[in-house]
Amino acid sequence: MNGSRVFLQDLVENLNSAHLDSNIDIFVSPPSVYIDHVRQNLRKDVAVGAQNCFWNTSGAYTGEISAEMLKDADVEYVILGHTERRTLFKETDSDIGLKVAHALQTGLKVIACIGETLNERESNITMEVLFRQLQAIAHHIQDWSHVVIAYEPVWAIGTGRVATPAQAQEVHAAIRQRLEATVGADVAGSTRIIYGGSVNLGNAADLAKELDIDGLFVGGASLKPEFVDICNVLLHHSATAAPETAGGK
């Protein structure tokens, strides 16, 4: 929940004038009231996503936005299960699974987020938590080609703390192994798993070098001109840079 029309236009113009390699998939997810403005003004090789959507097409759900509305606004992606939706707005694994199912059925691509709290990590139940969250999402997925998994350690969101590349790689590898065991080697090998948690220009290159980190999910740093530099860090890694322009991460 950041920005204004003028502020976001500056970010759009920065991206429009930047050299961005065509091998990198980039998307931005502005607040919903600015989605149309960003899509109308942003270069077409950068996708536009939403930060959330509901699991029904229409109805008496005041304040919610449907996947169909997002498609009508030429949105390609939607972020679902973000740690702030889970912790601040009490969305359950079941809620997120329903949202993922409906968004995919509507034709949106999904950034499905999973992550553990500091207490869960210190209690040595990180994998138990992540696998539970992953299963609630996987249960609803038939076509994994439109799904990106975003690992967001809650303890590294907006705190300035960041998982070391080795810590992030360990978790990403475990998630990939879990996918292989539950939905098959083809899905595990082709599904992008991106890292989000206080990503900035200072740590982006080291994170991107890890074998199982397929891209970066950028929060607060995507509100700065350095976001272009973070994208270009990935030029040699064939990764997906996925900025979240309004996450406060």
Catalytic annotation, residues: 152
Pairing of strands 47-50, 25-28: parallel
Task: State the number of CA atoms in the 13 A half-sphere of 223 facing the CB.
Answer: 16
Tokens standing for residue 189 = 């090998």
The H or E element containing residue 50 is strand 47-50
What is the Cα–Cα distance from 140 to 151, expressed in whole angstroms?
Answer: 19
What is the torsion angle, in degrees rounded to the nearest 10, for the CA atoms of residue 110, residue 75, residue 201 and residue 237?
A: 60
Alpha carbon 83 to its chain centroid, in Å, reads 10
Query: What is the per-residue burial (b if ≥16 Cβ within 10 Å, else e) of 33-52?
Result: ebbeebbeebeeebbbbbbb
